[in-house]
Amino acid sequence: MIFAIDKNIPALAALVREVATVHEFTGNQLINEDLVAIKANVLISRSTLKINENLLKNTNIQLVGTATSGIDHVDIDYINKSNIIFFSAKGSNASSVMEYAIFAILMWKRLNRIDASNLKVGIIGHGEIGMRVARCLRLMKVKTYVCDPPKENSNCNTDVKYCSADEIIEKCNVITAHVPMVKTGEYRTLDLLDSNRIAKIKTGSLLINTARGGVFNENAMIERQKDLFYAIDVWQNEPDFNAQLADIAMLATPHIAGYSYNGKIQGSVMMAVQIEQALHLGLNANVLDFRHDKMLSRRMLENANLEKRIGYFRKLDLDSAIMKAIAAFPVSKKIDYFRRFRNHYPERYEALPPIKIT
């Protein structure tokens, strides 16, 4: 069995190498000819690689895995048509992204001297990440509103009271998005907060986008740069991100909200478990896993130094400063440095233990 594994997935290649042949590659540099030449049977990548017919045609690939929660970079139709086994690491970086959102809220709250009793947070998307953000904020005794039309209409048993995106805009002074990119249909998320909706947002509010570029209308955000605050990790034309929007944002980062080392290791664990279930090679994913002994508690979240704690571990303010510096570069250099930032992101550990969401 021959594996092609992205070298930015920590520890996985070394584990697989004990039972199979491994060729490592860097991000989006892998091409079809490489897979053909090494006769790879298994491809394990991250979101920087477009996985489609151009990459996989005339190869021996039987199984594809992405060590990421999102699968926008994967042509699922082609994968299914080709009878290729596919899996992802859904939820692996949920805690990491939750920390980003909480840090942004605390930063905005401090800068604007907002009392916690005046915080009203709207969460758009109630999946792995949105549920954690909601639970964390409730432990902090912050009023939350949740919008998730697919879940609301699914008739599943839940104690959550859902509201619409327009209700969130009307009631909340913080709006954070945790949805997939859906470009068409009833549950379209592209331009979910369009120019009309952004025009109605309360003055001084904070918008957080760690979901996908294009969920919030970037031009409309720029138009309200004088009276809204932004924490943006995802961009509509990555890696050619909107430099003007990055410059005016309170927090601007290069799609790294989910890039904690904990999240990456959890992604590796999920890959190892699913590879073993599919191929029965004798992989032991337990040697990769590391967890906190404690669960996140209200006492921890009531600590006045929570923003400093997350800042110390994650250094998101430093990332933002670097991103804003990159925004001033010419386009070609800006794109190159955005990619480098992501591909060589340092080991940053999560500041908080896991949160129980059930």
Residue 110 appears among annotated catalytic residues: no
Per annotation, catalytic residue among 178, 224, 255, 348: 255
Per annotation, catalytic residue among 126, 178, 212, 314: 212
Look at the block and give the residue holding tokens 């009631």. 171
Look at the block and give the residue holding tokens 């990456």. 264
CB 69 within 8 A of CB 98: no
Residue 53 appears among annotated catalytic residues: no
Which of 351, 232, 254 is CA-nearest to residue 300?
Answer: 351
Query: How far apart are alpha carbons 10 and 341 in whole angstroms?
Result: 17
Q: In 74-94, which positions are buried (b, 16+ CB within 10 angstroms) versus exposed (e)?
A: bbeebbeebebbbbbbbbbbb
Q: Which region holds residue 325: left if phi is over 0, alpha if psi is between -120 and 50, else beta?
A: alpha
Residue 344 appears among annotated catalytic residues: no
SS3 185: coil
Strand-strand pairing, 206-209 and 229-232: parallel
CA distance to 244, 245, 256, 259, 332, per residue, from 327 (Å): 8, 9, 16, 20, 11
| Lookup: tokens for 85 | 């086994």
Per annotation, catalytic residue among 99, 128, 218, 238: 238
Q: Which residues are catalytic?
A: 212, 238, 255
